Amino acid sequence: MSVTSLAADRRPNLPHYAERVDLACAFRWTARLNMHEAVANHFSLAVDDSGTRFLMNPNQVHFSRIRASDLILVDANDPETMSRPDAPDPTAWGLHGAIHRNCPHARCVMHVHSIHATVLASLADSTLPPIDQNTAMFFRRHVVDGHYGGLAFEEEGERCTSLLADPKVKVMVMGNHGVLVIGDTVADTFNRLYYFERAAETYIKALWTGRPLRVLSDEIAERVAQEIADYPGQAERHMAELRTILDEQEPAYRS
């Protein structure tokens, strides 16, 4: 029997199991890419039509160890959430709870302090210019929060949600903080998170040269962004390949 089949045989009887597997895969791959930060940072995924009930990582568990069964299910409208014995991290609740409560189009939310995105967030101008195909992917599709107010407890989380009202905006560069990415599914969101970090790395390293940047015209940048948005199945295939690798190398993520 294959490793993949063995992993499937250990499949627990959990609600939203397929979504849990994708989310666990995203956590573990984020750790492999060194885009995590110790036991901080958090991902969430809405699992009901209103978007207020969502899965998220348990408090203070390393991304590389998260399994499908570890993910907790919470409700953004439940004021007793932080009184639960398995309560999430307070900043995760403040930020993700507010987004899932106020932005139903944000089905999946991923927040990290990845190195290059955080360097971008530390610049006086944290806008990502379209200097190549990856950076053009985010042309007019990211917003910069220039009013960092401390850890993302509930008040700060509520403030941040106002910047995500436009469904076209999929990335928030959190000034002096990190990056937050939203999407329709785990695959869609993780793919965007991956490419934003790559795009930020390209931009930061281009700045290191001290030479003038070759910035695309608005017309071409918008065309590229739309072409990538319309490209069929890329995010889903990306996630499927990551699951296949983990099925072979560390299938416990499915348990």
* Mean pLDDT score of the chain: 93
Domain span including residue 172: 3-254
Structure tokens at 127: 């806008």
User: What is the number of structural domains in the chain?
Assistant: 1
pLDDT digits (tens, 9 = 90+) for 130-167: 999 999 999 999 999 999 877 766 678 788 899 999 99
* CATH, residue 108: 3.40.225.10
H or E element at residue 97: helix 90-102
| pLDDT score recorded for residue 4 | 47
pLDDT digits (tens, 9 = 90+) for 234-243: 999 999 999 9
